């Protein structure tokens, strides 16, 4: 005869079987680094893809063209992995041109007004690629360079170290500049990006990564329901051409106040002038040059939480305003307006024209360093 305790035991066993079956799929790859071929540039040079997988199954893919992060798989609150960055499946699509998906931007990220500056009494004219201005390093910025890469493993995690030598005069910039960018994936679901550079002549520099995140998953519509929290009390206003006016204003009482978490979409229509959404440099509270919390983004649907810390004085919050649905990304999905957000840790845009902004000039004998950490958790 079946006793009551054994019925409950059977019930518990049955529930365990159901939960087991519903448990997240095992991580795709084993912990380690894989180097794969990702195709060829039109001149025949090979492009490699480095796949870093940590012990929890989080995986980041970075290619040597543009140092571009092509995929970033992180678990949601059920433990199910999802790719949280916008991009393409094939190199050919990146080569056709795109708005800096996942790329390293440099030599100077964001805009330099009128694509010209004077440094130590010398005038420099840069490649023009955004109205009358220079944007993200010019026509052939670091996002289009072929980087040399080596894979390394340390106690900190799995790394790929990329190096690129930008020669004197490239896109109009002075000095031979050697830059290294190290992407490290830790076993604590953190992606650390460390940038370092040296030059043989004074040059402005501002390196960052231009990943577009969608914490629900790259194919899941827009990010307007994600909440953003910023460690920032001030911002640098811009004119109609998105060039800083030189002012540093309080966020208090404006739709730029993210000192407590607010959804991207909540006040986006109140922005004045409205460049179609957020595209602002926020001044980070706390000292420049040492790691400090910068931003937190949370997607209530998936439970994914992204925390960003950086050594940089500023962060460009860009809500994918210029995505218009005409670019078909991974799996052929059209990326519409606000399909992703960028958190570009940086020196303030156009710093070279504003001596009261933190210095962005690198001189021979000095080393440029910036570190940014993207940590993924769930709630
Ligand atoms: C800039 C935007 C620009 C975008 C390019 C962002 O860093 O702030 O103004 O349109 O990059 O995709």
Average pLDDT value for the chain: 93
The model's confidence at residue 28, banded by pLDDT at 50, 70 and 90, is: low
Q: Give pLDDT, residue 4.
A: 39
CA distance 162 to 354: 31
Q: Which helix (H) or strand (E) holds 15?
A: helix 4-22
Q: Which numbered atom of ligand 1 lies nearest the CA of 279?
A: 8
Q: Give pLDDT, residue 24.
A: 36
pLDDT at 7 over 50: no
Mean pLDDT for 286-304 is 97
The response to whether residue 322 sits with its C-beta less than 6 Å from ligand 1 reads yes
Mean pLDDT for 83-90 is 98
Q: Give pLDDT, residue 219.
A: 92
pLDDT at 374 over 90: yes
The model's confidence at residue 19, banded by pLDDT at 50, 70 and 90, is: very low
The answer as to whether 243 is a domain residue is yes
pLDDT at 326 over 80: yes
pLDDT at 2 over 50: no
Which residue minimizes the CA distance to atom 9 of ligand 1?
279
The answer as to whether 328 is a domain residue is yes
Listed range (16-30, 40-54, 116-130) with the worst mean pLDDT: 16-30
The response to whether residue 316 sits with its C-beta less than 6 Å from ligand 1 reads yes
pLDDT at 18 over 80: no
- φ/ψ (deg, to 5) at 23: -60, 150
Segment 92-107, tens digit of pLDDT = 999 999 999 999 999 9
Centroid of ligand 1 to alpha carbon of 99 (angstroms):
8
Q: Give pLDDT, residue 274.
A: 75
Centroid of ligand 1 to alpha carbon of 108 (angstroms):
13
Q: Give pLDDT, residue 273.
A: 73
Q: Which numbered atom of ligand 1 lies nearest the CA of 275?
A: 9
- For 63-107, the DSSP string reads ESBTT-EEEEEEE-TTS-EEE-B---SSHHHHHT--S-TT-EE-S
SS3 272: coil
pLDDT at 23 over 50: no
User: Would you please indicate which residues are annotated as catalytic (active-site) residues?
Assistant: 210, 344
Centroid of ligand 1 to alpha carbon of 197 (angstroms):
23
The response to whether residue 110 sits with its C-beta less than 6 Å from ligand 1 reads yes
The response to whether residue 349 sits with its C-beta less than 6 Å from ligand 1 reads no
The total number of structural domains that make up the chain: 1
| Per-residue buried b or exposed e for 34-54, using 16+ beta carbons within 10 Å of the residue's own CB | eeeebeeeeeeeebbbbbbbb
Task: Quote the domain boundaries for residue 39.
Answer: 9-378
The answer as to whether 3 is a domain residue is no
The answer as to whether 4 is a domain residue is no
Segment 245-270, tens digit of pLDDT = 999 999 999 999 999 999 999 999 99
The response to whether residue 190 sits with its C-beta less than 6 Å from ligand 1 reads no
Q: In CATH, what number is assigned to the domain containing residue 120?
A: 2.70.98.10
Centroid of ligand 1 to alpha carbon of 208 (angstroms):
12
The answer as to whether 81 is a domain residue is yes
Pocket probe for ligand 1: among 135, 142, 240, 242, the residue whose CB has the most ligand atoms within 8 Å is 135
The answer as to whether 277 is a domain residue is yes
CA nearest to 181, candidates 360, 364, 345, 35: 345
Centroid of ligand 1 to alpha carbon of 233 (angstroms):
22
The model's confidence at residue 272, banded by pLDDT at 50, 70 and 90, is: confident
pLDDT at 1 over 80: no
């Amino acid at each position: 005869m079946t006793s009551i305790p054994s019925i409950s035991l059977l019930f518990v066993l049955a529930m365990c079987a159901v939960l087991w079956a519903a448990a997240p799929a095992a991580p795709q790859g084993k912990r380690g680094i894989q180097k794969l071929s990702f195709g060829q540039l039109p001149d025949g040079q090979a492009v490699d893809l480095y796949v870093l997988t940590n012990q929890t199954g989080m995986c980041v893919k970075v290619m040597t063209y543009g140092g571009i992060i092509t995929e970033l798989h992180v678990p949601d609150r059920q433990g199910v992995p999802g790719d949280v960055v916008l991009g393409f499946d094939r190199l050919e699509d990146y080569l056709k041109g795109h708005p800096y998906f996942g790329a390293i931007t440099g030599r100077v990220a964001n805009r330099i007004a009128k694509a010209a500056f004077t440094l130590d009494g010398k005038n420099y004219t840069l490649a023009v690629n955004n109205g009358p201005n220079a944007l993200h390093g010019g026509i052939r910025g670091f996002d289009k360079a072929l980087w040399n890469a080596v894979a390394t493993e340390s106690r900190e995690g799995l790394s790929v170290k990329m190096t690129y030598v930008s020669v004197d005069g490239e896109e109009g910039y002075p000095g031979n500049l050697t830059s290294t960018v190290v992407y490290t994936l830790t076993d604590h679901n953190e992606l650390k990006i460390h940038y370092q550079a040296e030059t043989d002549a004074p040059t402005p520099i501002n390196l960052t990564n231009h990943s577009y995140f969608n914490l629900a998953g790259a194919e899941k519509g827009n990010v307007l329901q994600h909440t953003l929290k910023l460690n920032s009390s001030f911002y640098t206003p811009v004119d109609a051409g998105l060039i800083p006016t030189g002012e540093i204003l309080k966020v208090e009482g404006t739709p730029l106040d993210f000192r407590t978490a607010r959804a991207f979409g909540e006040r986006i229509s109140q922005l004045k002038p409205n460049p179609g959404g957020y595209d602002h440099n926020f001044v980070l509270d706390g000292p420049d040059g040492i790691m400090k919390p910068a931003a937190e983004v949370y997607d209530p649907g998936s439970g994914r939480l992204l925390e960003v810390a950086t050594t940089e004085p500023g962060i460009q919050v860009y809500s994918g305003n210029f995505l218009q649905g005409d670019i078909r990304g991974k799996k052929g999905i059209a990326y519409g307006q606000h399909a992703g957000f960028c958190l570009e840790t940086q020196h303030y845009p156009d710093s070279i024209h504003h001596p009261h902004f933190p210095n962005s000039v690198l001189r021979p004998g000095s080393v440029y360093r910036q570190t940014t950490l993207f940590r993924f958790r769930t709630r």
